[in-house]
Structure 1
Amino acid sequence: MAIQGIKKELRVKFLVPKAKLKAERRAKEWTTSYVAELIGLERRQYEQKEKGLYPFHDYEMLILASAFGKKVSELFF
């Protein structure tokens, strides 16, 4: 039961809209389709992740950070 509580708490903490990522994407004038393609997703899947409905995988965060020339923490945390 304790593990479930921790998981729920972390989900609430980290599964939030990615405002920094969205701001960087817009600053570069990149579409959600383009960014989705970078990490091998459909546009709709990427948009759900950017909105905080689903988590990004570690490798997706690394790919995006590299593409934006930023650290993972600058975009996601």
Structure 2
Amino acid sequence: MTNKEKVRSRFLLPKKRLREERKKRELTTLYMADLIGLKNRRQYELKEKGQFPFQDYEMAIISKEFGMSETDLFFSR
């Protein structure tokens, strides 16, 4: 396993806390995709499932929308 693969497996985990908070607020994946400027909800869903990384600015936008820290939403286990 390469170093990059190790890092990806460590940090590209499903964003369970993010999903819980989104559902608690009754927000759709389409709304979230629009919020961060993605073309469709599928792109957002793949990021939320941990298959693709969120960009820094996307994490900042979502954190501001939820009124929570990026650490709590994206890096809590």
* TM-score under structure 2 length normalisation: 0.91
Runs of 4+ in structure 1 over 2 Å off = none
How many pairs were matched up? 74
Q: Note the residue ranges of structure 2 that are not aligned, 5 or more in a row.
A: none
Q: State the identity as a percent.
A: 53
2:51 to 40, 50, 53: 53
- Structure 2 Cα separation of the partners of residues 64 and 76 of structure 1: 10
Deviation at 1:72, TM superposition (A): 0.2
What's the counterpart of residue 41 of structure 2?
43
Post-superposition CA distance 1:23-69 (Å, at most 9, x none)? 00000000000011100011010001001110000110000000000
Deviation at 1:7, TM superposition (A): 1.4
In the alignment, is residue 5 of structure 1 matched against residue 7 of structure 2?
A: no
> Considering only aligned residues, what root-mean-square deviation do their CA atoms show, in Å?
1.1
- Structure 1 Cα separation of the partners of residues 27 and 61 of structure 2: 15
SS in 2 for 1:55: coil
2:68 to 51, 60, 70: 70
Q: Which has the larger radius of gyration?
A: 1
SS in 1 for 2:2: helix
* TM-score under structure 1 length normalisation: 0.91
SS in 2 for 1:29: coil
